[in-house]
Every structure is written in C-alpha cells, then in structure tokens.
Amino acid sequence: MSDTAHPERDDLFWRDEVLEATYWMLGEGIEEAVAPEDLRGFLEAPDGAIAETFADLDEKGLVRETDRGYVFTDRGEQEAGRRFADEFADIRGFDASHTDCGPDCWCHDPDHATDECPSDHEHAY
C-alpha cells in the first residue's frame, strides 16, 4: 500500500527512484553494475531502503545481482528506460532515448563510420 504522506516508506516511490538512478548510472557509463552504496550519494533514502528495493527488483526479474552490484535484465532495462523517459519527458529537448547520441557525436563523422558508437541506437551508414 502506498504511503504518499511518507514517500520514504513507499515501495513504489523507491522502486522508481532506484530504477531511474540505476538506468542513468549505467547509461552514462558511471558504473558497470550498481550496488546500493553507489546510490547513497544520489538518493536520500532511509537505512536499508535501497538494498531492500534492489532485492525486490531482483525477485521480480528486473535486475540480477553480480559480484560488483546489480545490472538490468532485458525486461528491467526496458522498464527503467520507460520510467526514466516518463520522468524527464517535460524537459525541453528530451525527445531521444537516454542512450541515443547527439548530432555532434563522433560516430556521425564518415571517418568513424566503422567505429562502434557508445550509444545503443542503430546508425544509417
């Protein structure tokens, strides 16, 4: 049950926060896997809330635990990407996927057409 008066106790609130922060960290290449302690600097959560949320996400098949932290399953990455896009949809210019590169990315230079772009989108070379 949701507790909107106290979002720190709201499981859905923390699920969104952890999914979005993890999506951002992995998408930006800040971490290869995200551990609960990696999010402490970004999320002001009650003790244990982030670890409990990761455990719940793991149980639901959205993330899987590795020796370095958690990574997304395919389903988890899609869900996190959708939530991230929904959260930031009203920001001007945020109409591309978080993992799309910008128009000034080096991958658009014909001299780099065979180099791998760090984004996940398809290129039309």
Q: What is the pTM of this model?
A: 0.67
Domain for residue 90, yes or no? yes
What would the pLDDT profile of 48-98 be if each residue is shown by its tens digit? 999 999 999 999 999 999 999 999 999 999 999 989 888 877 775 555 454
For 71, the 3-state DSSP assignment is strand
Domain for residue 102, yes or no? no
Domain for residue 56, yes or no? yes
Domain for residue 47, yes or no? yes
What would the pLDDT profile of 25-62 be if each residue is shown by its tens digit? 999 899 999 999 999 888 999 889 999 999 999 999 99
For 83, the 3-state DSSP assignment is helix
Q: For position 82, which CATH number holds? A: 1.10.10.10
Domain for residue 99, yes or no? no
For 16, the 3-state DSSP assignment is helix
What residues make up the domain containing 31?
A: 7-94
pLDDT band at 17 (very low <50, low <70, confident <90, very high): very high
- Looking at the structure of the chain, the number of domains it has is 1
Domain for residue 34, yes or no? yes
